Structure 1
Amino acid sequence: MRVALVPELVGKLTGLGYEVAVQPGAGVGSLSSDEEYVESGAIIEDDLSSADVVVSVQPLDIATIRLLKQGTATVSFLPVSTELGLVADLRDTGVTSFAMELVPRISRAQSMDALSSQALVAGYRCAIVAAGMLRRFFPQNMTAAGTIQPAKVVVLGAGVAGLQAIATARRLGAVVSAYDVRAAAAEEIRSMGAKAIDLELETLEGAGGYAREMTEDRAARQRDLLAPHIAAADGLITTAAVPGRQAPMLVTSAMVEQMRPGSVVVDLAAETGGNVEGSVAGEVVRIGHAQVWGGRNVPSQMPGPASRLYAQNIVNILTLMTAKEGEPLFAPDFDDEIVAGSCVTHAGEIRHAPTREALEGSETSA
């Protein structure tokens, strides 16, 4: 279980002038004790009613939000498209909320990009899961008894998670090939020591470094062309996802059924619909001869490093929103692109336009 602040970074916030209070036992899941927080300068406190800023990994629940004083700010992941009721409550209670998913993907915001930091953890974990489930060596082994050939791994999606999965599988010795719909990804794949799969289809560059949606005809053609690569793989890792949208279905169950006995499929996107037809978040299911592992809250499966990276993202964005002098200490500048882009609610209003429009539509239809 991840935590939004680790003991080693408490001093960064107290150094800015904040008093840091940590909920009792908050760091237990990430192997940080209350005593370590106290030694780092925090206090252990369960009362949020006097807080000016509350940081967390997942959004606070409605009961907790209603305990906050008007004007309190929250900073967390906040999946606005699926949490419209929560957004309405944040608006109605006068709470200012910032969503880490909405931090703009610009150079100045890289140190605050929690999606990327957590994808790094998830990509590594995916490769380790695949290696652990596959009942054969990843690397080639040459022995007096003969040579064991290396495992073949295919990775679909070459964003932060996909590239980390590639790098980890390569470090473990597997022969890796990968595919992404973005043209720039091919060079990144090769830089990790993997082979870039070229399907000779049009590329799909989208905004913010993500791929744009493809037509169903192109998706079907892509699946046909990927099928032989997947059938020849011992392990398949899929990582294609766009925040706030359903994951694209890249691999049909029929394609998985063509894989050899003992094959392993790891679907990182299972929580958002899945890249692999039939995958189930948090479960291992069998499709044909393959075991299919559906990812669920994958960064939390490595809570220590995931918390450390996320906490640094939190400290960096709070530092941006801290006044250099004068009062109040927490003084977000809404003219700043990062602050404005990540803000969901403020002063009784929904500032994130797509969320505001979606909520107004839902309230009108109700």
Structure 2
Amino acid sequence: MTGDGFDPVAFLERAVPVASNEDVGAMRDLLVETLDANGADPIVDDAGNTIASKGTSDPDTHLVLNTHIDTVSPHVPYSREDGVIHGRGSCDAKGPLAALLAAFFAADPAPDARVTLAITPDEELLSTGAAALDVDGDLYIVGEPTGLDVCTAAKGRFEGTVTLGGVAAHAAEPDSGANAIDALAPVLDALREFDDDRESHPDLGDATLTPTMVDGGENSNQVPAECRLVVDRRSVPPETADGFRSELVSTLQSVVPAGVGVDFELTERPTPFLEAFATDPDHQLVTTLSQASRDAGGRGDVRPFTAATEASYFSPAPVVVFGPGVLADDEGAVAHAEREYVRTDDVRTAAEALEDAVARLVE
């Protein structure tokens, strides 16, 4: 239990049973109720973000605490045994939310500082909340399951479709057309070689480019006039979505055979893609939270995060990802899996570390 009486584990026991995979309304109601009960004055904006702040409206230092309340489907019921809470959202990301709430309630900002809790509703799908979030922070801590490590960087994720356009013809006379499927061969070779001359990122390693879905052709006895290939891009700084698209189009246009057109379009979505980000590991935000994690009993290691995250929306401001729970353990997947869980000791450790770090940063 934190010094002001808020118990993050008790909150988590209430939060995990609340299904928030298809509709976050009930979970948002619980969050607003909890904020009200602990003396905060939350608002819910037009995008469904829940926001509460402490401190001056004109700060020299504005620290933003962020995570999300939505979960992936299907909902997994709550259970608890031997200091472990099971259920959907236990680690991704209601466990981190519980720890962030403890830190927010305990915070007592200096006269020139401000702390904002900003909780988004749509992280697992399109990030419509984070894209619309109107907070101007100087520092950001994003709650995700990191095993109490401080994560300073993450790869971005882009997706798009390569379209190859040929000329239909009878399969008995293949040379009278231009086979779009046959053009896949040089395209796939080019995808494999796309990053060969690119330097690895010092924290995130190599970018990846992976073909994931393919379809084409209309009849089994016809030279296909069109073929579509979906690709998944995991980017590293400084690559942007627009820069990736431009470079990929140029590369593929140089390898397809004559008579076949090629185009690439990023998948349409109402919000920007989650791009790669990286915060200086020597920044005060990183060193302060890392030391606080170690002091509370965590490892406090500094490393990259292995999944895309809304933290990218807050970069280039200094941003880190931190929280109890893990994406995967020695037995396999934890977050987004039927066996999702978080250890209650880790939730309390995360809360203690965050309280300490927030105090050092803004008090």
TM-score normalized by structure 1? Answer: 0.31
Which structure features the higher share of helix residues?
A: 1
Larger radius of gyration: 2
TM-score normalized by structure 2? Answer: 0.31
